[in-house]
Structure 1
Amino acid sequence: MKKILWLTENYPPQQGGMSESCDRIIEGLKSKGFYIHVVHFYRKGKPFKTLTKQNGTYTYIPVTHSKAHTLHLTATYLENNFEGEADLIMGWGGNIVKEGIYVIHKLLGVPYYFCFRGNDFDVSLFNAKDVFNLERLINNASGIFTNSNDKIQRMQRVFDYTKAYFTPNSIDLNFWRKTPQEVQQAMDFRSMHQGKIIIGLFGFIKEKKGFTFFLNALRRSLVADRFLFLFTGEITATEQTLLDEVGVSYEALENVSRYELIPYYLYCDWLTIPSFYEGMPNVLLEAGGLGIPVVTSAVDGMKDVITDGENGLLFENLNEEDCALKLKQIAKMDEEERTLLGTNLYQDIKENYTLENELQSFVEIL
Structure 2
Amino acid sequence: MTSVVHQQFGSIKGGNVMHVGIFMHTNYFEDFFVKGLGLTEEEYVNSYHNDFSFDYARLLGKSGIHTTIYNFVRSGNEVRTYQHGVVDCTVKFIPLGALYRAYRAIPLSHRTPIGKFISQYVSTIHKDLSEILRADGINLIYAQEYASGRFERLASIAKKLSIPIIAAYHGGSIHKWIMPIKKRTLHKATFLTTLNEDEQLSMVTHFPWLSDRIRLLPNFVNSQIFYRRDKKQALVALGLDPSSRYIITVGRLFEHQKGHSLLVEAVQQLKDIPDLKILIVGNGPDERRLQEMIREKGLEDKIILLGSIRDKETLANYYNASELFVLPSRYEGLPLVILEASACGLPTVAFNVMGVRGLVQNGVSGLLAENLDPAALAASLSKLLGDPALCSEMGEAAFQIVRSSYSEEIIGAKLNSLLQESLGLGAELTTLRLGDAFAPKLTAPL
TM-score tier by shorter-chain length is 0.7 to 0.9
The one-letter amino acid of 1:168's match is P
Is contact 1:41-1:62 (8 Å) kept? Answer: yes
Among 287, 299, 306, which residue is 2:360 paired with?
306
Moved more, 256-265 or 267-276: 256-265
The one-letter amino acid of 2:307's match is E
Shift of 1:203: 2.3
Q: Deviations along 1:217-269, whole A, 9 cap, x unmatched?
A: 445xx544224322234634476346643768322223321423234323422
Shift of 1:211: 1.3
Q: Deviations along 1:96-121, whole A, 9 cap, x unmatched?
A: 7435222212322333211222x3x2
Where does 1:246-325 land on structure 2 (aligned, <5 Å)?
249-259=302-312, 260-325=314-379
C-alpha spacing 1:321/1:263, structure 2 compared with 1 (3 Å): same
Where does 1:84-123 land on structure 2 (aligned, <5 Å)?
85-93=137-145, 95=148, 97-117=150-170, 119=171, 121-122=172-173
C-alpha spacing 1:149/1:39, structure 2 compared with 1 (3 Å): same
The one-letter amino acid of 1:148's match is N
Is contact 2:341-2:347 (8 Å) kept? Answer: yes
Cross-structure match for 1:29: 60
C-alpha spacing 1:142/1:186, structure 2 compared with 1 (3 Å): same
Moved more, 78-87 or 255-264: 78-87
Structure 2 Cα separation of the partners of residues 176 and 238 of structure 1: 28
Q: Deviations along 1:4-44, whole A, 9 cap, x unmatched?
A: 541323795283643xx212223322433445555443556
- Structure 1 unaligned blocks of 5 or more: none
Q: Tell whether 2:79 aligns with 1:48.
A: yes
C-alpha spacing 1:59/1:264, structure 2 compared with 1 (3 Å): closer
C-alpha spacing 1:36/1:113, structure 2 compared with 1 (3 Å): same
The one-letter amino acid of 2:186's match is I
C-alpha spacing 1:81/1:6, structure 2 compared with 1 (3 Å): closer
The one-letter amino acid of 2:141's match is I
Cross-structure match for 2:416: 363
Q: Tell whether 2:15 aligns with 1:9.
A: no
Cross-structure match for 1:200: 248
Instruction: Give secondary structure in 1 for the equivalent of 2:272.
Output: helix
Instruction: Give secondary structure in 1 for the equivalent of 2:222.
Output: coil
Moved more, 344-353 or 170-179: 170-179
Instruction: Give secondary structure in 2 for the equivalent of 1:356.
Output: helix
Q: Between the two proteins, what is the percent identity of the paired residues?
A: 19
Cross-structure match for 2:105: none
Structure 2 Cα separation of the partners of residues 217 and 348 of structure 1: 27
Is contact 2:20-2:68 (8 Å) kept? Answer: yes
The one-letter amino acid of 1:110's match is I
Shift of 1:156: 2.1
C-alpha spacing 1:187/1:138, structure 2 compared with 1 (3 Å): same
Structure 1 Cα separation of the partners of residues 356 and 150 of structure 2: 26
Instruction: Give secondary structure in 1 for the equivalent of 2:287.
Output: coil
TM-score, normalization by structure 1 = 0.79
C-alpha spacing 1:60/1:84, structure 2 compared with 1 (3 Å): closer
Structure 1 Cα separation of the partners of residues 190 and 199 of structure 2: 17
The one-letter amino acid of 1:152's match is Q
Instruction: Give secondary structure in 2 for the equivalent of 1:351.
Output: helix
Between the two proteins, the alignment pairs up a number of residues equal to: 351
TM-score, normalization by structure 2 = 0.66
Structure 2 Cα separation of the partners of residues 249 and 83 of structure 1: 54
* RMSD of Structure 2 on Structure 1 (CA): 3.7
Structure 1 Cα separation of the partners of residues 239 and 83 of structure 2: 47
Q: Tell whether 2:283 aligns with 1:229.
A: no
The one-letter amino acid of 2:223's match is L
C-alpha spacing 1:136/1:190, structure 2 compared with 1 (3 Å): farther
Cross-structure match for 2:175: 125
Among 218, 224, 228, which residue is 1:168 paired with?
218
- Structure 2 unaligned blocks of 5 or more: 1-10, 13-17, 30-43, 102-118, 420-446
Cross-structure match for 1:342: 395
Structure 2 Cα separation of the partners of residues 243 and 352 of structure 1: 41
Shift of 1:206: 0.9
Is contact 1:172-1:354 (8 Å) kept? Answer: yes
C-alpha spacing 1:57/1:173, structure 2 compared with 1 (3 Å): closer
Is contact 2:50-2:310 (8 Å) kept? Answer: no
Is contact 1:48-1:59 (8 Å) kept? Answer: yes
C-alpha spacing 1:135/1:44, structure 2 compared with 1 (3 Å): farther
Moved more, 340-349 or 31-40: 31-40
Instruction: Give secondary structure in 1 for the equivalent of 2:357.
Output: helix
C-alpha spacing 1:214/1:243, structure 2 compared with 1 (3 Å): farther
Is contact 1:199-1:268 (8 Å) kept? Answer: yes
C-alpha spacing 1:307/1:277, structure 2 compared with 1 (3 Å): same
Moved more, 247-256 or 98-107: 247-256
More helix by share: 1
